[in-house]
Structure 1
Amino acid sequence: MTNRDAPRESRDAETLAFLTRPGLTRLWTAVRTRLERNGLQPTGTVRLQDLDAEEREALSLLLARPLTAATATIRLPDLDTRLRTSALAQGLTATLDELGPPLTDRRAARDAASAQRAGLWSAAAAALAATSLSPQPWAARWLQETRRAGTVARQDPQTATTLLTQAIRTLATLFPGTDADPTPVVWGRGELATRTTGSAHGLDDGTLLARLVLRGIALATGADFPADAPGRRALWRLASVTPDEVSSTVLTYGLRPTGGTWGEQVLCRRAEHHLETHLTLRELRGLHLKMPAHTHIHVCENPRVVEAAADAGCSAPLICTSGNATTVVLTLLDALAATGCVFGYHGDFDWPGIALANRVMDRYGAEPWRMRAQDYEYLATRTQVHGTPQLLLSGPRIEATWDQELAPTMDALGIALHEEAALDLLLEDLS
């Protein structure tokens, strides 16, 4: 260690150079870990194994005693005393702070976080008690289950507080009791979200707040918590909340249901005039589609296929997923499958397209519609002959569940083919 009679600036520079030498790196790492666990108190020991010659020399100079073995046990109180009586003239904690980065009192941090969590839930309990939810037995259970789940507590404190406040406010709005101000019999979800969160998107599907509120609704109504989007919409309706069922649509063409309702008649008339039809979830809930048994319905991925089919005056029924099949698409396909319809599916020859095709074919037992390895090879060859610019495949390979040869063939050629590359062939099938 440094001579105490040297000027302070010289002592500081020399001491810092000594303390930061590579031979002491493992010591300071171990000591830092122990101090942060000990509430920054220099107690206990650290044990270093497999010491090399450089480390033994540095430790011997630091501790003022020879170390010759490959293992050393260092008592933190002794190291603290040694530093205080050295030219550095400061304790172990101050030394580690100076060497950097600053020490963290992890014990104090844990205690503070624990106190903060306790405050979060006590504040939530008080907020709940001040609402119309207080006398309702399910409300206390909801708060307990929310706390046990741990999801809210893992958020930052401000977010966690906001989530609980908004969830309680929303549930109190939905279950106001007898003394509350009059509220609408039926809420739009966006309207309810605006009232209780300030944002029309505050209760959008998939948000943590929406899940918290839905768990409360499930407990209040005795319903099971849903596992899918249709189930979540049904649960909202139990609390007189109407989800957004008009902004998302499914693109259809050529559907000719046999029922006599005006909605089915409209579909038939539009099919007769070769017009595409966009159907919303709201419309699908009101439609009771009846189709001839075993009606074969083509399903495509890209809207351009529907547009071309309409322009060509094709007669076969066609449904478009418009990319990844959304809830409204699956709702229509489910309804048609329930009437005995069968499906043929075509999509893009790229890995996301194969993933989507797997979903549709597995869910509905759909047949591949020009989606086999030989179809891909033919289209790839044709684009090369025509000099069409090539789009390379990208992303992880996905096996096609309906054709074991398709993914290896695509991998070998390395070309992505969008559905439009097969448009003329698809139109032949739809005519």
Structure 2
Amino acid sequence: MTLPPQARAFLAQPALGRVWSAARRRLEGNGVQARGSVRLDGLDAVEREAVSLLMGRRIGSSSAVIRLDELDARLRTTAAGCGLADALEHLGPPLTDRRGDRDSGRRARAAVWAAAEQDVAGSPLADQDWVSDWLDDLRRSGAVGRLSPLDAAEVLRQAVQALTALHPVRDERVQPIGRGDLATRVTGTAHGLDDDTALSRVVLRGLARALGTDPPELAPARRALWRAAGVVPDEVSSTVLTYGLRPVGPGWRERALRERSEWHAETHLTLRELRALDLVLPHGTVVHVCENPRVVEAAADARCAAALVCTSGSAATVVLDLLDTLTAAGHQLRYHGDFDWPGIALGNRIVRRHGALPWRMSAADYEELATRAGMLGIPAVPLTGPAVEADWDAELAPAMASLDRALHEESALEWLVADLRPTR
């Protein structure tokens, strides 16, 4: 049915707008039932007159309480000829049964966990004490809460399948399996257990429960947990650019790295190589850290002697692993990066995590470089993004904001190469 034009014109008048807004909120919250009441305050004369005509009784004050069942009955016996819910639908937009949606959502979520428990019951995991704690932990933490019920059920099903493939995780007789192979077996794609997937996070929570450890937060801990369960992560695709590392160990890997350093050759190291290397450098070695590969190239060309690690922009896991290893061995790091906000943010990260010292990264250094760039007529590149305070120098961010000029490491290349002590 449609509202008669005269009734629609009356109901749609602006003076009744607050009535319909309040009634809509109440109906959508209580299962689209004309129950309860709404209160309107601050009614002006036009609104009072319109509400009085709507309800068939005089509204004499600026406040009114409207019972929804009364309003529903009134609409049915007037020219509107329909109930409150239909009237609101005609006035638009369509009503949403939020209570029904919530109840439906709760039922769907309950079905997700019931299906997961059924999957466990039909698997070798059924007799494992940790599994019920794992499911309870996932439920409480909301680990799959942002997924649709259908996607959440699929992630949990695949997680049970993956953990079943690794069962029992403490058995040393279990043959190691590549993470990509396991992911392909469970999801059909080699990337199904990549670090950024919900499935990976859910499976790792299960492995942590099985092995009696805390769920891993950082990438090194995640890889260690995978290895403890007999899963071999990909440790060869990412590399860190290094120069001048001279480990003192007697192995062939350490000898090869020292030889490349003697020939002033840069070296790309994988996570796999880092795990195998004994990266203890000569006592007192200071390791310089730069952001741009051009610094490594210039250091090699100048036959510098100092140890150098390049983050190649935002430091990847393999970079952080190497810096972790070096600081754990007692070596001091000194960081230089771009004089822009991402460069300062990366510097803060390395200073906080590794206790690095700044290297040519003071406000005075920035101002001198900016002045020199201006004198040379180098076009100014403005800073972009939100400002970042430097942990090591409270004056640096204000100086950068004042001059509004981004300076990349190439502008300080002459300084950096001199600091790296070139040999003859």
Equivalent residue number for residue 225 of structure 2: 235
The answer on 1:303 being equivalent to 2:296 is no
Deviation, structure 1 residue 260: 1.3
Equivalent residue number for residue 23 of structure 1: 15
Of 384, 406, 417, which residue of structure 2 is paired with 1:416? 406
Assess if the C-alpha contact under 8 Å between 1:293 and 1:339 holds in 2.
no
Deviations 1:382-426 (A, max 9, x none): 111111111101111111111121111111000000111111221
Deviations 1:28-73 (A, max 9, x none): 0111112122322212211111111121111012112221201101
TM-score of the two chains, using structure 2 as the length reference: 0.94
Deviations 1:71-100 (A, max 9, x none): 101111221121111111111111111111
The answer on 1:391 being equivalent to 2:396 is no
Equivalent residue number for residue 4 of structure 1: none
Of 91, 101, 126, which residue of structure 2 is paired with 1:134? 126
Equivalent residue number for residue 138 of structure 2: 146
The 3 A distance-change label for structure 1 pair 232 and 26 is same
List runs of 5+ in structure 1 lacking aligned partners: 1-7, 178-182
Deviation, structure 1 residue 325: 1.8
Assess if the C-alpha contact under 8 Å between 2:143 and 2:202 holds in 1.
no
Of 167, 173, 185, which residue of structure 2 is paired with 1:175? 167
Question: What letter is aligned with 1:128?
Answer: V
Deviation, structure 1 residue 263: 0.7
Equivalent residue number for residue 163 of structure 1: 155
Equivalent residue number for residue 379 of structure 1: 369
Q: Distance in 1 between matches of 2:328 and 2:29?
A: 62
Of 195, 207, 217, which residue of structure 2 is paired with 1:205? 195
Deviation, structure 1 residue 380: 0.7
Of 383, 405, 421, which residue of structure 1 is paired with 2:395? 405
Q: Distance in 2 between matches of 1:231 and 1:107?
A: 43
Of 340, 343, 346, which residue of structure 2 is paired with 1:356? 346
**Which range moves more in the overlay, 44-53 or 362-371?**
362-371
Equivalent residue number for residue 266 of structure 1: 256
Equivalent residue number for residue 180 of structure 1: none
Deviations 1:305-352 (A, max 9, x none): 111211222222111011122221122122222333222211000011
Of 51, 62, 65, which residue of structure 2 is paired with 1:59? 51
1:415 is paired with a residue whose SS is coil
Overall identity of the aligned pairs, in % = 57
Deviation, structure 1 residue 257: 1.7
Q: Distance in 1 between matches of 2:280 and 2:390?
A: 32
Q: Distance in 2 between matches of 1:214 and 1:203?
A: 10
List runs of 5+ in structure 2 lacking aligned partners: none
Assess if the C-alpha contact under 8 Å between 1:350 and 1:417 holds in 2.
yes
The answer on 1:339 being equivalent to 2:329 is yes
Deviation, structure 1 residue 186: 0.4
2:414 is paired with a residue whose SS is helix
1:299 is paired with a residue whose SS is strand
Deviations 1:234-282 (A, max 9, x none): 1111110011111111110011122211111101110111110011111
Deviation, structure 1 residue 176: 6.0
Q: Distance in 2 between matches of 1:391 and 1:154?
A: 41
Equivalent residue number for residue 99 of structure 1: 91
Q: Distance in 2 between matches of 1:152 and 1:242?
A: 25
Assess if the C-alpha contact under 8 Å between 2:130 and 2:209 holds in 1.
yes
How many residue pairs match? The answer is: 418
Question: What letter is aligned with 1:201?
Answer: H
